[in-house]
Every structure is written in C-alpha cells, then in structure tokens.
C-alpha cells in the first residue's frame, strides 16, 4: 500500500513567507510588548518597597527571567521563518501597547500594572497561535500555548495575591 504525503513546497519547514507573514508581524508585536514588560519588571524589581518587598522583589525577578527566555525563543522562531525580529529600543517603544511607568508606584500599583501587561501579552500570544493555526504550524501553536499557560497561571497567582475580584 502506497502512502501519499502532501508536502509543502517551501524550504523553510514547509511554510512560505506568505504563510508566515501574519505570524512574523504578530510575533514582532509580541516581542516589542514583551521587551517593555521585561524592563518594567526590572524597574519594579529594583524599586519595590514596603511590607511586600521580599515577595514581590523575588516574583518580579522570576518573571523577568522567564520573559527574557521567551523573548529569545520568539525571536529565534522569527529567524526560522527567514525574517528579522525587531531588536531596537526605539522599535519596541513605537510598537508596544504596553507602556513604561515610573519607579514611584506602590507594590499594589506595580502588581496591577503587571496583571494588565500579562493580559496584553496573552492577547498577542493568542493572535500568534491563531495565525499559526491558520497555516497548520503546530510547533508555533505549541510554543504560544506553553507561554500562555504559564502567564495565565502567573496572572491567577498575582490576582490572588492582590485578593481582588476577577474582572469580567
């Protein structure tokens, strides 16, 4: 019995640049947002004060350490597709929906900012996963799903820490 395999004709894992264009665009938007988020976390890590200092200082470091790993993974995936990831601070700040804040926030304000930023990141990750699904790129879908599972858990934990009701 002969098995026929449908092969895509592009040398880069079977996906043409047209197949990956939407993913590359949304991954670059994700990288820009993730970089601003990363720097905000560093800011908060260095500048959090008050009775929650030890918990949040450690949590913000954990989050920015994970963020830098995710950023690298996303950038390398863009390179797999033969495209170039955004890589300048100017590009990040112009592209990102996440905005910088100052250093004089309370621990609660910092945590609320992080929660809002996680929601933004999650929406971009979902857009990348959807674009990947549209072309059958299960590897990118899996990468995004893994990142989404992790940040959604962080969102839940920080929301519980704040002890505030969930937004509907």
| pLDDT tens profile 25-58 | 999 999 999 999 999 999 999 999 999 999 999 9
What is the chain's mean pLDDT, rounded?
91
- Burial bucket for residue 126 (CB in 10 Å: 0-12, 13-18, 19+): middle
Q: Per the structure, how many domains does the chain have?
A: 1
125-135: average pLDDT: 95
For residue 107, being part of any structural domain is answered with yes
> pLDDT value at position 129?
97
Please check the confidence at residue 9 and state whether its pLDDT lies above 50: no
> pLDDT value at position 10?
41
> pLDDT value at position 64?
98
> pLDDT value at position 13?
56
141-161: average pLDDT: 97
| pTM attached to this predicted model | 0.87
For residue 13, being part of any structural domain is answered with no
Listed range (12-21, 60-69, 70-79, 129-138) with the worst mean pLDDT: 12-21
Please check the confidence at residue 164 and state whether its pLDDT lies above 90: no
Confidence of residue 165 (pLDDT cuts 50, 70, 90): low
For residue 7, being part of any structural domain is answered with no
Closest CA to 63 of 158, 159, 140: 158
For residue 12, being part of any structural domain is answered with no
Range(s) of the domain holding residue 25: 18-162
For residue 33, being part of any structural domain is answered with yes
CATH of the domain at 32: 1.20.1260.10
For residue 1, being part of any structural domain is answered with no
134-161: average pLDDT: 95
> pLDDT value at position 132?
93
For residue 40, being part of any structural domain is answered with yes
Share of the chain above pLDDT 90, in %: 83
For residue 4, being part of any structural domain is answered with no
């Amino acid at each position: 019995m002969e098995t026929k395999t449908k092969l895509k004709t592009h040398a880069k894992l079977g996906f043409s640049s047209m197949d990956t264009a939407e993913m590359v665009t949304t991954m670059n938007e994700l990288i820009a947002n993730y970089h601003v988020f990363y720097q905000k976390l560093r800011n908060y890590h260095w500048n959090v004060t008050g009775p929650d200092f030890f918990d949040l200082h450690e949590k913000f470091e954990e989050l920015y350490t994970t963020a830098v790993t995710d950023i690298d993974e996303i950038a390398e995936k863009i390179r797999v597709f033969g495209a170039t990831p955004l890589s300048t601070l100017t590009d990040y700040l112009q592209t990102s929906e996440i905005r910088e804040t100052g250093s004089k926030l309370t621990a609660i304000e910092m945590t609320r900012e992080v929660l809002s930023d996680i929601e933004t990141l999650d929406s971009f990750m979902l857009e990348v996963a959807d674009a990947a699904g549209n072309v059958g790129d299960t590897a990118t879908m899996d990468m995004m799903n893994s990142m989404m599972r992790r940040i959604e858990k962080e969102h839940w934990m920080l929301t519980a820490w704040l002890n505030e009701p969930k937004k509907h």
